[in-house]
Amino acid sequence: MMTDDDDWLEAHFDAARRAPGPSEDLVARVLAGAETVQAAPVSPPARAAPGIGARIAGALGGWLTVSGLAAACAAGVAIGVQLPETLDTATGGGVSALFGDAPVIGFTGIEAVGLAGGIEGLQ
């Protein structure tokens, strides 16, 4: 079942089949140009210099080391932010058993600066 569009397309295909091919001179010039392009050496593209983050990570031992340092830093900040009593409660008394009655255990921020007794505590 051919339609008018198919007939039109077939007419163009027939015309393309009957058309002469490229001249021998054109084919020779195209092949000569292709040989010169193929013979030219190709250098790989230049790599960009690593950024400051990559250089620091390389100096520290790679991204695996940097991620370990970041986790240790986050754990240190989390432990440092907690009050010693909270840390002692979380460990079931393990901190006070380890350090005994060291002055750091039991101090809150206000007692550490001497304001527990009010202004008189500063004198």
pLDDT in tens, 53-98: 889 888 989 999 999 999 999 988 877 776 666 666 766 666 666 6
Q: How many domains does the chain have?
A: 2
The domain in which residue 90 lies consists of 83-123
- Using the predicted structure, report yes or no on whether residue 26 has a pLDDT greater than 90: yes
Task: Report if residue 20 sits inside a domain.
Answer: no
Q: How far apart are CA 123 and CA 116, in angstroms?
A: 12
Residue 89's SS3 state is helix
Report the candidate in 72, 67, 101 with the shortest Cα–Cα distance to residue 84. 101
User: Residues 88, 123: one domain?
Assistant: yes
The phi, psi pair for 110, rounded to 5°, reads -70, -35
Q: Name the DSSP class of 93.
A: S
